Amino acid sequence: MNKVENKKAINKDIKIKAIKDSFIKLNPKFMIKNPVMFVVELGFFITLVLTIFPNLFGDGQSNLRYYNFVVSIILLVTVLFANFSEAIAEGRGKAQADELKKTRKDTKAKLLLKDGTFKLISAIELKKGDRVLVENGDLVPNDGFVYEGVASVDESSITGESAAVLKEAGGDFSSVTGGTKVVSDWLKVEITATPGESFLDKMIKLVEGASRKKTPNEIALSTLLIGLTIIFLIVIMTLFPMAIYSKIDIPVSTMIALLVCLIPTTIGGLLSAIGIAGMDRVTRFNVIAMSGKAVEACGDVDTMILDKTGTITFGNRMAAEFIPAGKHTKEEVTRFAVLSSIKDTTPEGRSVIELAKNQGVSINEKEYEDADFIEFTAQTRMSGMDLRDGVRVRKGATDAVKVFITELGGRVPEDLDAVTEKISKLGGTPLVVAVDKHIFGVIYLKDTVKPGLVERFARLREMGIKTVMCTGDNPLTAATIAKEAGVDEFIPECKPEDKIDVIKREQNEGKIVAMTGDGTNDAPALAQADVGIAMNSGTQAAKEAANMVDLDSDPTKILEVVEIGKQLLITRGALTTFSIANDVAKYFAIIPAMFAIAIPEMNIINVMRLETPSSAILSALIFNAIIIPLLIPIAMKGVKYKPMKSEKMLLRNILIYGLGGIIVPFIGIKIIDIIVSPLVSMLVL
């Protein structure tokens, strides 16, 4: 069972806590935040008063005491079910927050002093800018960046992954998170967060729901629900004088029951749970969303910006073939390629030696222990070895090696450009091998597209999402990888500012843009994008600029996050459609029941043929209550999402949740009426 599945279960403790919270949330100061359910709670209090004082509003029918009591109980249960749906959604987040809190203990910190010694203090005393020493076995006291040292850090308390991560000063892997543990060597860390404001603290608040604010879509839908509630309240208020004019005696509790059945209580009771569950689904995928708005924005994404290396491809270029140039043989190229890689500890260098061994070529490395290894630099773009006899072996970028041999008086083989161009067209990287002033051939390095990405990009295309690959590769290499991966567009030789330009271009066209990144140079683009997902292994600047952080540092996860966002929007839309459609069915149950005696013609719309007016009202009210917990699994899990065009998706949801929202209440209310009608007759005697 994977990590995501482990977090899915709603255990017994969560359920018990949710039941308790359902009663705590009855406090009007909580209920007023959900106006629809607040109206239901007011209805409960009024009917409860009518149970005690049945003649309070002049009904003059003391035998309605039991009927009023049943209505009040059903209304109470309706509110409790709505509170339970929200509490169960919050419960999962709080359970995960409790796990995170276990890592936030009173850690001791080794505060570095100016004289080079350290002083042991409590981590809560640390201030932003303080420098600390973290040695093997120590917990990182707070968020910061490594300015000296190299060490392996266990981040399982945050990510759930057991494999330690290498952290070192400089580069894109210098950021460390409070609560993680150093498991080798030592680090000197400069603190970047004050106590209570660390990444871990923010995570705890977010997964608890304490920092969750309503998104623009939620606010808009809430406004609609409030508007519908006000409209139906006015309708009910006008029905009362109409009933008096028609000489129909309608109990106040019946009017309240009608109001509760007509206002959108179903979606009103589930709306908050849907939003919380959406963020929870992202969290269970080990992605921390800094706001619900970020999750929603994922559902509206039109364009996705993706780095090539590490996202679309594995990133480590591996030697795939040795290709001779000029009059040299494959054996010669292979031998000198190995010589240039003996002390090259990079994945590319190791792959050269591995490929040569597989082809039966091996060299005794001890013979070259005294040789001088030439490291690769951004300036030379070459690496290799200077042998004891003065022979210089190099491998590197085509143009760099050309300059190297030309300066020594050598000539470039005529077929070299054809070989390197062919490799570039195949999406590979050519490394030219030279010995002194002679070029012997080329090492074909291949960066492989991750399996399954072609299908995933096709799925995104079905959603109407355009994919744009950004890479520093030359245009030929970029075009080959783009074609192999199946992306819609690519930007070769891409610089950080190019990413910002393409994001702004898409946004100017009214599109929502998502992108991933991990480096400081990605921070401006992450901040510019509507959805920016930073890697947890990346820099502090990237994490602060983004509105989501992937704890697993898997750049391809943006694909799943987009689907979760779409699922959130679809779930909310589907359940809203179902809720409003259900009100139509309840209308056919209650209105005829109220007026059929005085206006026999109203029986025409009594299509359910319910037994009595009282049983019809209570049946509709009971169905209105029980449908909320029945829909909680859908609100929590989300409506199953399948990539398809928006028009087709809309039609599908209307058929399932619109038509279903009409049919299900008709069946449910009729069944409940058959069960309760014998009991109801006794309540009104």
Q: What is the DSSP string of 564-601?
A: HHHHHHHHHHHHHHHHHHHHHHHHHHHHHHHHTTT-GG
Superfamily of the domain at 316-448:
Calcium-transporting ATPase, cytoplasmic domain N (3.40.1110.10)
> Has residue 152 got a pLDDT over 90?
no
In terms of DSSP H, where are the helices of 184-215? 199-208
Q: What is the pLDDT of residue 435?
A: 92
Q: Which residues are annotated as a binding site for Mg(2+)?
A: 518, 522
> Has residue 440 got a pLDDT over 90?
yes
For residues 199 and 36, which has the higher predicted lDDT (pLDDT)? 36
Sketch the domain layout of the chain as residue ranges: 12-95+207-279+565-684, 287-312+452-551, 316-448
Q: 103: pLDDT confidence band, cut at 50, 70 and 90?
A: low
Q: Please tell me the pTM assigned to this model.
A: 0.63
Q: What is the pLDDT of residues 643-664, one digit of tens each?
A: 666 677 778 888 888 888 888 8
> Has residue 1 got a pLDDT over 50?
no
> Has residue 399 got a pLDDT over 70?
yes
- Give the whole-angstrom CA distance, residue 131 versus residue 109: 10
Q: What is the mean pLDDT of residues 228-246?
A: 79
Domain 287-312+452-551 belongs to what topology? Answer: Rossmann fold (3.40.50)
The residue from 143, 307, 473, 554 that is catalytic is 307
14 in Cβ contact with 91 (< 8 Å): yes
Task: Render the burial of 486-512: b for 16+ CB within 10 Å, e for the rest.
Answer: bbeebbbebebeebbebbeebbeeebb
Looking at residue 88, its amino acid is I
> Has residue 346 got a pLDDT over 90?
no
Q: What is the pLDDT of residues 242-301, one digit of tens each?
A: 777 767 677 788 888 888 888 888 888 888 777 777 777 777 777 877 766 777 788 888
Q: 2: pLDDT confidence band, cut at 50, 70 and 90?
A: very low
Question: What does the block give as tokens for 464?
Answer: 């109407």
Paired strand residues for 152: 166
237 in Cβ contact with 259 (< 8 Å): no
> Has residue 425 got a pLDDT over 90?
no
> Has residue 534 got a pLDDT over 90?
no
Lowest mean pLDDT among 96-100, 131-135, 314-318, 420-424: 96-100
Q: 404: pLDDT confidence band, cut at 50, 70 and 90?
A: very high
Angle made by CA atoms 526, 529, 532, in degrees to the nearest 5: 50
132-141, 343-352, 412-421 — most confident range: 412-421
- Give the whole-angstrom CA distance, residue 94 versus residue 100: 10
In the chain, % of residues over pLDDT 90: 9
In terms of DSSP H, where are the helices of 471-552? 475-485, 496-508, 523-528, 540-545
> Has residue 625 got a pLDDT over 50?
yes
370 among known catalytic residues: no
In the chain, % of residues over pLDDT 70: 83
